[in-house]
Amino acid sequence: MSEQRHVTIVMIEDDDGHARLIERNIRRAGISNEIRHFADGASALHYLENDNTGPALNGPALVLLDLNLPDMSGIDILARVKSNDRLKRTPVVVLTTTDDKVEIQRCYDLGCNVYITKPVNYESFADAIRQLGLFLSVIQVPEVEGNG
């Protein structure tokens, strides 16, 4: 667990309520990693690619991605992340309300690591997030190469 402590969870989620619920449930699962929340795609991308504390320059990180964003589609962010040499190994968990088969396939095709549909039923939702937390606690995140 201590190894994962410095892995930053980058949460890209335009709905503050969802963000709060996700954060609470992750915490309830016992995950205490830093969670950076971005409500729009542009600032999230900037953090991921250019921020000094961001995963591209300082890693490692895990991305929680919502597909419905006000300024761009989460799919575009996913494509950008997976086509970036420094970011492509960063795990991306798509966490969204869309359960369209085609959409899910597209995300996996683009290199998404896990796709989770947000259940409307809150118990299921909380459950899913907590399980995600457990998952995050065992997942091994690669170090960014050329870290400096």
Name the minimum Å distance from CB 14 to another protein. Answer: 9
Span interacting with another protein, options 12-20, 56-64, 84-92, 131-139, rule CB under 8 A: 12-20
**Site for another protein (CB under 8 A): which residue of 68, 73, 83, 131?**
68
Residues 75-104 that bind another protein (CB under 8 A): 97-98, 100
Of 36 and 66, the one with the shorter C-beta distance to another protein is 66
Yes or no: say if 97 and 69 are a contact pair by the CB < 8 Å rule. no
Contact call for residue 131 and another protein (CB under 8 A): no
Count of other CB atoms within 10 angstroms of residue 148: 5
Name the minimum Å distance from CB 18 to another protein. Answer: 6
Count of other CB atoms within 10 angstroms of residue 139: 15
Contact call for residue 70 and another protein (CB under 8 A): no
- In angstroms, the Cα distances linking 42 to 13, 20, 47 are 12, 20, 9
Span interacting with another protein, options 14-22, 49-57, 70-78, 81-89, rule CB under 8 A: 14-22
Q: How far apart (Å, rounded) are the C-alpha atoms in residues 38 and 121?
A: 24
Residues whose CB falls within 8 Å of the CB of residue 119, separated by 6 or more in sequence, listed in order: 125, 128
Name the minimum Å distance from CB 54 to another protein. Answer: 27
